[in-house]
Structure 1
């Protein structure tokens, strides 16, 4: 599935070995000055996997619903390969140009105009992702608290605003204040363990709940017409390019060979988890699959409540990785890449506070986040890494090692354009909080029946929500 880029010099003057030696020397100096670069390959992989497996994974079953199960899996393989290839392409481009960040790479390649475009994209994507993380934490954990005896609808623990503020003050803000991303390695390991628990929950429910869900029309169709929108969803789930340089720079030995191993391991593992999660989720609910898979499970399903708890905590631990990226963009644009201790705290506080304020004010970001996936994720994965490498390469387009970057670039332009048009012309409904009609069936033995649904059933038809309807 994941292929390593072919070795050899990019041009006659610069070889991979020399790039590795120069890069190692540069990072050694930086580590002595800034005390950075302390991650082992294992720790870096944990951070990378945690960056990939974020909020987007919860919507991958819906992506299969959009594209059709067989075609959806093929598209997932394609997105994983492009992610793997373009991440290495990005770092190689940085080594060729002598740059150590996504922004500086684009600036050296396309000048100040390209730098501004990338800065907007690189800030916007993780910033909106952090808003979605807060919304997910608030909406998911409140459902968990409501299952605790003695916690009723009037309790402060059932108030999403309180939960968002509490998780921000107690967890996300303190973790985001770290200066060294390597210190999040253990936190990322915890998030991975929780992700496994969520996956097991979904697989168990596929076996126990799936047979009791009424079938939908042509659930195993090979392909469906809105497969392009599914690619945008998958891109949203797999994007990690915006913090690739941060994780690469945190390695003790930042060489291309070490980075390739970290990338292959991280993307390959993320693909396996994503494929298992998406298939298990889709075969459980087929055509009823919603954008937030946990909205498909009944409110009095105790196992699903456990899954919600794990997912909420996992999201809280992923938030700081995105904050690192937004802070780096602000640092590079306004502070020439250097933040004093005071400025570091102030900038972090402003970013986290702004995300918290917006997440408190909005509970439905469906269309905005779907556009974010098409307009931000696709350029950051498909278009910009390929364009930078082709600009720096001395070879001709569509020849030699430039063939694959050219194909990825054209595919990115197609997905971005077509996905944007389809999102505008065929927007998905934003519907929250409705119990699925099958939850009122009294003989569903696989769920707990000791407590009534927390909300009344509002309809008896499948709700086709946006992939990013987070409640």
Structure 2
């Protein structure tokens, strides 16, 4: 899942070219802040033993004197960990509301745009002399640029935390019901379970100073998603269509969807239930289509991890790192496409915003799905503290950079962040809204707007009339269009939904 990406937010503490290297390879290697700096006292207390020592005192772009140690294959695996996240669970929902053909076009487009932004980042890093996302922002636009990068990464992290807790909210009740056979008890209420897990497991882990061992959850998360993909493909050939309706609520939902689908085709006077439900659509446009692009951008964002991985790449070159990105994005593109396609073909219009939860309508006690749920629940529960760590560190640096480490402040920030995330999960109706809002705002900033803006500002050897600068400018404009357009349509959908059903 995306937890390693968020750990790179630790790298926000240097402010000039001569600062010590401070990069993170998703929990595999990092470099401490230079001793004696204004942040060193607080940071050493915060990140002591979290990451191993590295070489100090070198400029980030002096690659010939600071060779990396990560092989091409390991870098591909690490970047795959960065890309893969909970966003994969929402892709079938996006396909159900765009159709197969339109979804594939959007998926290819977002993947290509993401790779282009990686190209811009790598070239900007070489020209700007920084291998930290926030540091590029500082070099390009001063403190406003650094804050824009920092806030975007923090929002992305909070969105990731929320999506992980949504998985706990959706899946843990099903696991408990499978073991107890009860469905109406308080301990099968997802809201209560999120609070219990947060207080008893996530909070104690988040309060630890040493979180290094949790970095291994990135590999576990990727394995869980591969296992999940295999199960999705297998279940496509085991679940009949039309789906067996297990309860009255599901039946009412099916009737409502069929009626809405019928009304949307004015040239049809009747609808064949089995045909409408079981025939995949190639182009679909409805009120939920606006969530497709934000869900896809949320799924592909990994850009704060690109530069630290670039620094750790053995025999590094910009072309080699671009090759790492190409292979990683291609692998994740295939996984995303397969998960979305087979999930959609299995459930068609019944797909929910979180695909794994959709299977509970058909299987109440399937052993394989139970194993998948337990694996995913374990991975995301252990991931939340890793994602929370860099957010807390960033808050510390913005508010109390020069102060001594304080357990009271450390605990207070942790509790506030965790409480706020729990509130989002409990009161926001669906994970779709988190995917949509974060994808339209923070992910659009990290993929489209910031890389192109940094490139235009820092790459001085190319004139504004050059093909490269014109392309970056067009990419910047496209980013603003994607962000403002998606946010506007999502807000309109929220308003329309509230007016019609009161939620």
Normalised by the length of structure 2, the TM-score is 0.69
* Deviation, structure 1 residue 193: 1.2
Determine whether 1:240 maps to 2:293. no
Determine whether 1:370 maps to 2:436. yes
Residue 458 (structure 1) aligns with? none
Separation in 2, partners of 1:168, 1:253: 45
| Alpha-carbon distance change, 360 to 294 in structure 1, aligned in 2, over 3 angstroms | closer
Residue 399 (structure 1) aligns with? 466
Q: Secondary structure at the match of 1:208?
A: coil
Partner of residue 482 from structure 2, selected from 409, 415, 420: 415
Contact 1:47 1:185 survives alignment (8 Å) = no
Residue 166 (structure 1) aligns with? 197
Residue 262 (structure 2) aligns with? none
* Deviation, structure 1 residue 330: 2.6
* Deviation, structure 1 residue 185: 5.2
Contact 2:168 2:190 survives alignment (8 Å) = no
Contact 2:191 2:426 survives alignment (8 Å) = no
Number of equivalences:
411
| Alpha-carbon distance change, 69 to 378 in structure 1, aligned in 2, over 3 angstroms | same
* Deviation, structure 1 residue 75: 1.2
Contact 2:211 2:386 survives alignment (8 Å) = no
1:34-433 matches, within 5 Å, as 35-36=53-54, 40-41=70-71, 44-149=75-180, 153-154=184-185, 156=187, 160-162=191-193, 164-166=195-197, 169-170=200-201, 174=205, 177=208, 186-213=216-243, 214-216=274-276, 219-222=280-283, 224=285, 229-248=291-310, 256-257=318-319, 259-297=321-359, 298=361, 299-300=363-364, 302=366, 303-334=368-399, 346=411, 349-350=414-415, 353-355=418-420, 357-358=422-423, 361-362=426-427, 364-365=429-430, 366-367=432-433, 369-394=435-460, 395-397=462-464, 399-427=466-494
Contact 1:43 1:186 survives alignment (8 Å) = no
Contact 2:437 2:490 survives alignment (8 Å) = yes
The unaligned stretches of length 5 or more in structure 2 are 1-16, 24-29, 35-51, 56-67, 244-273
* Deviation, structure 1 residue 356: 5.4
Contact 2:92 2:355 survives alignment (8 Å) = yes
After superposition, what is the alpha-carbon deviation per residue over 1:86-112, rounded to whole angstroms, capped at 9, x for unaligned?
134224323322233222211221233
* Deviation, structure 1 residue 140: 0.9
Contact 1:235 1:378 survives alignment (8 Å) = yes
| Alpha-carbon distance change, 162 to 285 in structure 1, aligned in 2, over 3 angstroms | closer
| Alpha-carbon distance change, 255 to 354 in structure 1, aligned in 2, over 3 angstroms | farther
Contact 1:241 1:380 survives alignment (8 Å) = yes
Separation in 2, partners of 1:339, 1:104: 24
Separation in 2, partners of 1:381, 1:397: 21
Separation in 1, partners of 2:310, 2:386: 14
* Deviation, structure 1 residue 161: 2.7
Separation in 1, partners of 2:434, 2:176: 28
Which moves more between the two structures, 333-342 or 63-72? 333-342
| Alpha-carbon distance change, 325 to 84 in structure 1, aligned in 2, over 3 angstroms | farther
Contact 1:45 1:265 survives alignment (8 Å) = yes
Separation in 1, partners of 2:230, 2:355: 14
Separation in 2, partners of 1:263, 1:341: 40
After superposition, what is the alpha-carbon deviation per residue over 1:253-289, rounded to whole angstroms, capped at 9, x for unaligned?
7654553344233322221111110011111122232
After superposition, what is the alpha-carbon deviation per residue over 1:16-51, rounded to whole angstroms, capped at 9, x for unaligned?
xxxxxx99x957995796714897345554443233
Which moves more between the two structures, 110-119 or 193-202? 110-119
| Alpha-carbon distance change, 108 to 209 in structure 1, aligned in 2, over 3 angstroms | same
| Alpha-carbon distance change, 201 to 117 in structure 1, aligned in 2, over 3 angstroms | same
Separation in 2, partners of 1:207, 1:53: 25
Q: Secondary structure at the match of 1:290?
A: coil
| Alpha-carbon distance change, 167 to 334 in structure 1, aligned in 2, over 3 angstroms | closer
* Deviation, structure 1 residue 179: 6.2
Separation in 2, partners of 1:359, 1:225: 26
After superposition, what is the alpha-carbon deviation per residue over 1:227-264, rounded to whole angstroms, capped at 9, x for unaligned?
55311210011112244445555667765455334423
Residue 439 (structure 1) aligns with? none
Separation in 1, partners of 2:82, 2:199: 19
